[in-house]
Structure 1
Amino acid sequence: MEPCQGPRETTRPPSFAVPPLACDCHSHILGPVERYPYVENRSFTPPDASPQAYLAMLGALGIERMVVVQPSVYGADNRRTADAVGELGVGRARGVAMVGQNVDAAELRALDDAGIRATRFITTAGGGPSLDNLPGVARKVAEVGWHIEMYVPLDTWPKVLPVIETLPVSVVFDHMGGLKADVPDDDPILGQILRLLDTGRHWVKLCGYRNSQTGYPYGDVTPLARRFVERVPERCVWGTDWPHTAIKGRMPDDGELLDLLGEWVPDVDTRKRILVDNPARLYRFA
């Protein structure tokens, strides 16, 4: 399997002043593969993406906090993500693991002590856990105060959304639920996600260039993002998705992606809420 392209080596600064303690809530640290091997049933092979390269990108953006999310290529082997949180510093970094329903309390406590605050279900790529395990995993992670982050194909939501209503934990809809940028206002999946967000229990991650139907500069995503921001600004967080795995064509510039957030959220106070206050609550930053 040929490796996919790596992230940009340089990042341009954003055009607005980023507030102190802003958080990138979606990133992945990868490699070296000799130490952290990928699962066989992965859908892509990423190049290394080191903590040092990630910090350089965040430095260009002026972002001080970060969340490292377990990539599908590692399956349930959470060593790289947990180690990355430690390398970046538990004072400023948190992590999202990927565990199965057989995980025991001791492992969950150890991951929590390492800065992990959630587990992930991703079925858009090989390596992720079965959605059949969702209720069982939710019961386990509820014991340590975690939430669940989800990225699944659109045709999966009709079966999964009713299950989410019954879970004892909050759910984060990664990548704005994977909804296409041109989704109509009366789309039933969009409506059900919005109703779940209205309960004040769940969250949406504004990480939206993958939702674009027109590609760079991703302007078609703005109406979808604003739907969430205008409806539930107190339940929105934002992420770069660095290092942008499995992207074909033009590699996103994270400064441009942050500027997109400025377009979606022109109000400075609301933007601070999304970049600082909401992540601090969701990921339990001290």
Structure 2
Amino acid sequence: MTRPCPGPRDVTSKPGWRAPPGATDCHMHIFGPYGTYPLSPGRGYTPPEASIAMYRDMLATIGLERTVVVQPSIYGTDNAVTLDAVAALGPDRARAVVVVDDGFDLDALRAMDVRGACGVRFNAVSGNGTPLEQLEALAARLAVLGWHLQLYAHPAELLALEPVLARLPVPVVIDHMAGVQAAEGGVAHPAFQAVLRLLRGGAWAKLCGYRSSAGAPYADVTAMARAMLEAAPDRCVWGTDWPHPSRARPEDVPDDGVLLDALGAWAPDPAQRQAVLVDNPARLYGF
């Protein structure tokens, strides 16, 4: 049985600071329309539709210009909704992170590359995706294309995978603050320390921290975000995670303006903000 979840907020607040030109939301999803893009029967949750028009309204409110569309687990390895969203948002302003398995050969990956795909996501938390056992085999295939590998895993899995991730031949992007909760150790958590070692060795991090927090304004995640920024200032990016499918109640759905304000608190220096929102995404995603 799949769990229900609320849709995105009807109203997004304007953040208290202005993002620089070319700023990028490096993590979001599109859901539906379900008549065109039916849900996977193996999904773990069932969200309301979240359209491109709704997303554009939110993005305009918070003042960002570029987007990375991440394939959600509710569609498994059928990447049609994600690749079509890149086309609709504009290939000059959008990229895709897709979900594949070892049944996708290089020709299939090249066809998605032409449509704006530049990375593959492994989601061991939500499931309905690629088994972690395929990490090394797929990474070798991605290296041929110059793609990166994005990983969302439970902290214990990340800790166990540290030596594997350190030797992969592609950039590794750690998703959602490594899945570590601020209230369960935060920076001191062994998995977070493993991620900091990976960051110092060349990995990337997404400063998408509300899932690690007790709630807005997300100040409890500040130490974690700043530790990642210190470890890899030129390899941290940021994303909204719109429309926030991990939440169970409408009142818990984040306000994306508040999320951007949290990033402003984590990275108060304009040069840091420029790196996280513009320069680092441009290098990782090829803008």
Within 5 Å, give how 1:67-86 maps onto structure 2: 67-86=68-87
Amino acid at match of 1:228: M
CA distance in 1, matches of 2:162, 2:155: 11
% of aligned pairs identical? 49
CA distance in 1, matches of 2:20, 2:220: 26
| Residue 217 of structure 1: how far off its partner (Å) | 2.7
Amino acid at match of 1:258: L
- CA deviation vs aligned residue, 1:173-195 (integer Å, no higher than 9, x gap): 00111111142544332222111
| Residue 46 of structure 1: how far off its partner (Å) | 1.1
Amino acid at match of 2:272: T
Match of 1:191 among 190, 193, 203: 193
User: Could you tell me whether the CA contact under 8 Å between 1:43 and 1:126 is conserved in 2?
Assistant: yes
CA distance in 1, matches of 2:4, 2:26: 25
Paired positions, count: 283
Task: Determine helix, strand or coil for the equivalent of 2:173.
Answer: strand
Distance verdict in 2 for CA 1:20–1:185, change over 3 Å? closer
| Residue 246 of structure 1: how far off its partner (Å) | 3.2
Match of 1:265 among 244, 264, 267: 267
CA distance in 2, matches of 1:216, 1:16: 17
1:112 and 2:139 aligned: no
The TM-score, its normalising length taken from structure 1, stands at 0.96
CA distance in 1, matches of 2:200, 2:89: 34
Q: Which residue of 2 aligns with 1:158?
A: 159
What do you get for the CA RMSD once the two structures are aligned?
1.3
5+ residue gaps, structure 2, are none
The TM-score, its normalising length taken from structure 2, stands at 0.95
User: Could you tell me whether the CA contact under 8 Å between 1:46 and 1:246 is conserved in 2?
Assistant: no
Within 5 Å, give how 1:49-88 maps onto structure 2: 49-88=50-89
Amino acid at match of 1:46: P
Amino acid at match of 2:277: L
CA distance in 1, matches of 2:31, 2:135: 25
Which moved further from structure 2: 238-247 or 218-227? 218-227
- CA deviation vs aligned residue, 1:24-49 (integer Å, no higher than 9, x gap): 00000110112111211211001111
| Residue 218 of structure 1: how far off its partner (Å) | 2.1
CA distance in 2, matches of 1:215, 1:276: 26
User: Could you tell me whether the CA contact under 8 Å between 2:186 and 2:224 is conserved in 1?
Assistant: no
1:38 and 2:39 aligned: yes
Which moved further from structure 2: 1-10 or 114-123? 1-10
Task: Determine helix, strand or coil for the equivalent of 1:234.
Answer: coil
| Residue 16 of structure 1: how far off its partner (Å) | 0.7
CA distance in 1, matches of 2:231, 2:145: 29
Task: Determine helix, strand or coil for the equivalent of 2:8.
Answer: coil
User: Could you tell me whether the CA contact under 8 Å between 1:101 and 1:140 is conserved in 2?
Assistant: no
User: Could you tell me whether the CA contact under 8 Å between 1:73 and 1:126 is conserved in 2?
Assistant: no
| Residue 166 of structure 1: how far off its partner (Å) | 1.9
Within 5 Å, give how 1:10-29 maps onto structure 2: 10-29=11-30
Task: Determine helix, strand or coil for the equivalent of 1:224.
Answer: helix
CA distance in 1, matches of 2:269, 2:190: 29
